[in-house]
Amino acid sequence: MSPREVVEIVTIAAPPDAVWAAVSDPCGYGRWSPEATGATRRSGSGSWAVGDRFTGHNKARVSWRTQCRVVVAQTDRRFAFDVSVGPFPIARWAFELEALPNGQTRVTQRWTDRREGVLGVLAKPAGLPVGRGYDAATRNRATMRATLDALKADLEGSR
């Protein structure tokens, strides 16, 4: 893996449909994430589908918002969305689910840096004033680990 991609994995004692119900609703991410505080749906209704849009709400040192679009919604398997700030592509976030034979689910959370080219060079320093720092990969590894640990605790009923 490169600094342009971070992957964290956890095994949760819950079936894929229960994990899917949690990770396929960005409005609930504030329950687990140390940085994402929630989302406001801007398009679509019911189950999230490819093309649905939402505004992501986040907080580190200060609050900021992102524009997001669902790019993958494969029930019980994979949920992914692209993040932008204004015209600047920032990242793709994904949750990948794998059913295990013992009724558990392996959850892979993946972050891919989309800050490339001229717009990417301009977007990278944007993390500094909000308290994210310049090294998004290192920061995201820590927040992803915390998110997956909290998701596991929540779905296993130990929170």
CATH of the domain at 88: 3.30.530.20
CA 28, 30, 62, 109: dihedral to nearest 10 degrees?
A: -90
Three-state DSSP at 1 gives: coil
* Contact between 22 and 151 (Cβ < 8 Å): yes
Mean pLDDT confidence for 81-102: 91
* Contact between 114 and 91 (Cβ < 8 Å): yes
Q: What is the largest CA-CA distance in the chain?
A: 48
Q: Which pTM does this prediction carry?
A: 0.88
Q: What is the pLDDT of residues 10-35, one digit of tens each?
A: 999 999 999 999 999 999 999 999 99
pLDDT band (50, 70, 90) for residue 117: low
pLDDT band (50, 70, 90) for residue 61: confident
**Residue 90 structure tokens:** 């920032």
Tell me which H or E stretch contains 110: strand 105-113
Mean pLDDT confidence for 60-71: 89
Mean pLDDT confidence for 62-85: 93
What pLDDT, on the 0 to 100 scale, is given for residue 88? 79
What pLDDT, on the 0 to 100 scale, is given for residue 133? 47
Measured CA distances, 48 to 20, 32, 41, 119 (Å): 11, 19, 10, 29
Cα–Cα dist 20/78, whole Å? 8
Domain containing 24 equals 5-155
Instruction: State percent of the chain over pLDDT 90.
Output: 65
pLDDT band (50, 70, 90) for residue 118: low
What pLDDT, on the 0 to 100 scale, is given for residue 89? 84
Q: How many domains does the chain have?
A: 1
* Contact between 60 and 35 (Cβ < 8 Å): yes
Instruction: State percent of the chain over pLDDT 70.
Output: 84
